[in-house]
Structures are given as structure tokens and as C-alpha cells.
Amino acid sequence: MNIDELAQRAGEWLSGTGPQSDIVISSRVRLARNVAGFPFLSRASESQRKELLRLLCNTISNTPIGSRVTFFEMETAHRLDRQVLVERHLISRQHAGGQGCRGVAVSEEETVSLMVNEEDHLRIQSLRSGLQLGAAWDEVGRLDDAIEAQLDYAYHPRLGYLTACPTNVGTGIRVSVMLHLPALKLADQMHKVFRATRDMHVAVRGLFGEGTEALGDFYQISNQTTLGKSEEEIISAFEGSVIPGIVKYEKRARELLVNERPALLDDKVFRAFGVLENARAMSTEETLALLSHLRMGVNLGRVSEININTINELFVQMQPAHLQKLKGEELTPEQRSVIRAETIRKRLSRDN
């Protein structure tokens, strides 16, 4: 598997088939780990980074999924290839834009990615469509065990796993769930989510995590504490109350729109549809915003001629790097804008 092939297809989490996928786009669990006997990366020499990359790649190869992962080296990878991995949420923006020897191992179905030499020596991530935190946690846990069986992690008997940033110390776990909340946004009720999550020590962020905006009404909900609670407690709080609570808000907002403000709802949905079907130039931001409204329309049965998979695919493939991969060449923002609009028109008319 190479990045070009990856860019053309939809991984598991893009399929939009998981539980509650009308609102829950994806579930992610990641662990931050460091190898005992090596300094944190901020103090590591280039040869220590190289040694870590070699060691961790070997270790990953010897896990049960070792034969089903592909390694990508970031230092030699083309800028577009790194950007594709970011757009698919397989690596962080920091990892793509970083310096020095670093890499990522990605499983066939893209449910697992392991970043080496990002902020920590190792970040183990499982990403699944819909609300599947339990499955994601099982996968990450099994991998973590398989790796720990081969090497020693930096671990402190009282603090737990040691990490480069103190916010990750302890379990090293970050749980994040990507939600699609167009009705709450449309009804101007996102403050309900912000209020509820603040009390639960949960962060609400944009499409690409920390410091990014909520493009296309997508919000990432993630835990803020990694210390003092077990992984299972965090997962079960997310799956049992945090996420269901927000999902309930969004469902209620959708019901209210359908029952009490159908003209407003349809106006948003069909305007988006009309512009997507007709525009000749479109930015990524506008595309996400319009696809978001169309997605809500399809999920609420207001639009029947478009397949939800088409929309889920477009969300990923209309991003800048994916679009350039699709076209097979580097493009200026203006060129992308025209090709993006053209591609969307074609895809939608294929369904329609």
C-alpha cells in the first residue's frame, strides 16, 4: 500500500457504518508511550531518534498486526503524502510538519496508526467509524501489550506512564470522538454542549484537534485528564454518558427542526445541495460547510437521491492534498477550487 492508493479509497472510519454514524463520525483512542532508557524527544539527539525509529519499527513488526501495517517515513515523504495522512487523521499536523527522523505505521483498514517520534516516542491510535470506543480501546490495549512485551516503557510506579507533556502523564490515554452537530449549530445551541462538557472536564475542539476550528459543524470531544482515572473509567464515561448526552442534544435539535422549522431546515439543506451541484469554484471550508448541511438532509430523509457514502467520501477526498492526489499533480489553490467544484458536481450527479 502506498499513499496514492490510500488517498483513492475510504478506510474503515470513513465508511460511516459504525453505530450512531448519523451523528458520531468516528471514535479514537490513543496512548502516549516512551521507551525507557531514551531521553524525551526534545532532548534526544538525531542518532537517538534514528535508534528509536528502528527499534519501534521492529517492535511493531513483531506484534500480531505487524504483517498488516505499512511504514511511512516522514522525513523523506513528499509534502502532499504527509498532508494526505493528516487529512485522514492518521498522523497529527505536528507530525507532518515536524523535523527529523520520524514515521508512522498504518494498518490496512486504517483502524490503527502508530506514530514514532511525534511528541512522544510512540503514539498508538485506533480510529473507528461511529461510536466504537470499546473496540478502539481493545485494539489499542492489545497492541500496547504486544509492544510492552518486547521493550520497557518509561514508567513511574506512582505517576504511571511518563510522557513528554505532563497533560498525558498517567494512563497516557486520549479518547476523542468526532461528532457532527449541524442542528445544534443551526439552532444556535452549541452553548449547551460547551456548558455540559466544561463540567465534565472534557474539551471540545475543531476538525483537526487542538487549536483548529469547527469546520463543517464537526466537533472533537476529548478527555482532558489522564491521571487518577483508569482507562476503562474514562472510556466508559465517554461511551456511557458524555457522548450519549451530546448525541441526545443534537437529536432533539434535529427533531425540533423537522417538526417545528422544516422550512428553515430544508432551506439550509437544499441551498447547500443546489450550490454543491452548480458551483464552478469552491474552497475547502465552503465545501465542508455545505456537505455538512447536505449530510444532515440525507440523515433526516429530506434528500433521498444522494447516498450518504458519497458525502462521507467527499468530506475526505475534497481536502487539498487528497484532491491533488486524485488529479495526480500539484495544484494552486485556484486550480483546486475549480477541480473541487467539478468533482463534486460529477459525484453528486452520479447518485442523482
Strands (E), the chain: 24-33, 69-73, 103-107, 112-116, 122-129, 155-156, 160-161, 173-180, 202-205, 218-223
**Which residue number, 67 or 304, has a Cβ lying nearer to its own copies?**
304
Calpha distance 209→247 (Å, rounded): 19
- Please state the closest distance from residue 345 (CB atom) to its own copies, in A: 9
User: Is 213 near its own copies (CB under 8 A)?
Assistant: no
Quick check: 264 binds its own copies (CB under 8 A)? yes
Contact call for residue 183 and its own copies (CB under 8 A): no
CB of 351 to its own copies, least distance (A): 16
**Using the rule CB under 8 A, is 341 a contact of its own copies?**
yes
Q: Name every residue whose Cβ is closer than 8 Å to that of residue 262 and which is 6 or more positions away in sequence.
A: none
The smaller minimum CB distance to its own copies, of residues 13 and 273, is found at 273
Q: Which of residues 280-339 bind its own copies (CB under 8 A)?
A: 280-281, 338
DSSP 227: S
Using the rule CB under 8 A, which residue among 40, 155, 208, 270 binds its own copies?
Answer: 270
Residue 92, C-alpha cell as written in the block: 497529527
Q: How near is the Cβ of 297 to its own copies at its closest, in Å?
A: 11
Q: Does residue 41 contact residue 121 with C-beta atoms inside 8 Å?
A: yes
Single out the segment in contact with its own copies by CB under 8 A; choices: 53-61, 76-84, 197-205, 262-270: 262-270
Q: Choose between 108 and 277: whose C-beta lies nearer to its own copies.
A: 277
Helix/strand/coil for 122? strand
Instruction: Provide, rounded to whole angstroms, the least separation between the CB of residue 273 and its own copies.
Output: 6
Closer residue to its own copies, CB minimum distance, 39 or 274: 274
| Phi–psi pair at 155, nearest 5 degrees | -145, 140
**Antiparallel, parallel or unpaired: β 122-129 and 218-223:** unpaired
Cell numbers at 176, concatenated: 476523542
43 binds its own copies (CB under 8 A): no
Contacting its own copies within 115-144 (CB under 8 A): none
Nearer to its own copies, 188 or 199 (CB): 188
Q: Is residue 279 part of the contact set for its own copies (CB under 8 A)?
A: yes
Options 7-15, 48-56, 261-269, 310-318: segment touching its own copies (CB under 8 A): 261-269
CB of 213 vs its own copies, minimal distance in Å: 24
Residue 196 in grid coordinates: 455540559
> Distance between alpha carbon 236 and the CA centroid of its chain, in Å?
20
C-alpha cell read off for 181: 452537530
DSSP string, 152-215: PBPEETTTEE--SSGGGTBT-EEEEEEEE-HHHHHTT-HHHHHHHHHHTTEEEEBTTBTT---G
Task: Tell me the closest approach of the beta carbon of residue 277 to its own copies, in angstroms.
Answer: 6
Query: Closer CB to its own copies, residue 2 or residue 263?
Result: 263
Closest CA to 306 of 350, 258, 262: 350
- The piece of 52-60, 182-190, 234-242, 271-279 that touches its own copies (CB under 8 A) is 271-279
Looking at beta carbons only, is 30 or 268 nearer to its own copies? Answer: 268
Q: Does 346 bind its own copies (CB under 8 A)?
A: no
Identify the residue among 278, 305, 329, 350 touching its own copies (CB under 8 A).
278
**CA nearest 271: which of 288, 255, 294, 253?**
294
SS3 content of the chain, % helix, strand, coil (to 5): 50, 15, 30
Which residues of the shown chain bind its own copies in the complex (CB under 8 A)?
Answer: 263-264, 266-267, 270-271, 273-281, 338, 341
